[in-house]
Amino acid sequence: MVAVLAASLAPFALRNLSQEPGRFFLSLLMCAAAFAGFMWLVRRPKSELPATWAQSMLGAMAVFALFLLVYGVVPHEWLTWADSKLGLREDKILLDTKPIKFSGRALRDIVASTIYIVFLGMNTVMWIMWQKRGTAKPKAAPAATKPEPAGTSAFSRPVTKKD
């Protein structure tokens, strides 16, 4: 049983993650894990105490690492994979009509630009979510029936009926 499992997982060995498509998909997986961690933090209730210096520095370091991953590693790995294994070069023409020549390099650059645009949109949404966390107003409890005032006291305060 173990031999069958090992043989079926052989194409997915860790050494394959060090090659072009593996590194790209691994960096996307790391981004997904970071976004899941962010969503977990956003769902937590906001603390009443202000953030400490250490918490702020840890948060800044995590955001910096995520920016490096999203805007540096992921596009770089796509461009490396597209240039080497996929062969999306200038001389590879994907669409050849009279007015337009669409090369592999154009497709490569369009995908890289799309990666930046999608991550910028996600970045903006995450900023908004972080700023609005903990601001949801609690739902009001159903109003209890108030006793009707029976008049006023000698001190001009409402008096309730006693049953």
Closest C-alpha among 153, 149, 152 to residue 161: 149
> Considering Cα of 149, then 154, then 157, then 160, what sign does the dihedral take?
negative
Q: Where are the alpha helices (DSSP H) in the chain?
A: 2-9, 20-43, 53-68, 74-84, 104-132
Digit-coded pLDDT (tens) for 14-58? 566 667 788 899 999 999 999 999 999 999 888 889 999 999 999
Task: Transcribe 48-70 into DSSP letters.
Answer: SSPPPHHHHHHHHHHHHHHHHII
Digit-coded pLDDT (tens) for 123-153? 999 999 999 887 766 666 666 666 666 777 7
Distance CA 104, CA 89 (A): 5
- Whether the predicted model's global pTM rises above the 0.75 cut: no
